[in-house]
Amino acid sequence: MIEFDLDTAHSILVVRPQSALDANDFAELAKEVDPLIATNGDLAGLIINAPKFPGWDSFGTMVTHFRFVREHHKHVKKVAVVTDSHLADVAEHLASHFVSAEIRHFSGDQLDQARQWIISGA
């Protein structure tokens, strides 16, 4: 399950994975994000606020996740990964080869700094 908030004033999507991700999570995200992209253009940023990554409920959901990323990554300028997990550094490096967004890792207590990084445009 993913909880999310859409800050339409700054065009920032904040996602908080709560438990193993399922295909419905990505359908719900698309239902919220796609109209904003269609109306206003690209998102300024995506903040992934995850103390730890909960994984997927199935291989099919993992494929759905990758498909969602493939279809949306060109519409996101910056991605902030807010976590204390050591996997974030590896994920940041790997993802930089597959997505067009600028990606940056922030420690778990730096949610406000991540938001400011996106808003500042720097």
Domains of the chain with bracketed CATH: 2-116 (3.30.750)
pTM score over 0.85: no
- The H or E element containing residue 120 is helix 111-120
Positive or negative torsion for Cα 25, 90, 6, 72: negative
**What pLDDT digit, counting tens, does each position of 44-75 carry?**
988 989 887 777 888 888 788 777 877 777 88
**What pLDDT digit, counting tens, does each position of 69-96 carry?**
777 778 888 888 898 876 655 555 555 5
What SS3 class is residue 117? helix
Question: Can you spell out the DSSP letters for 49-98?
Answer: E-SS---BSSHHHHHHHHHHHHHHGGGEEEEEEE---THHHHHHHHHTTT
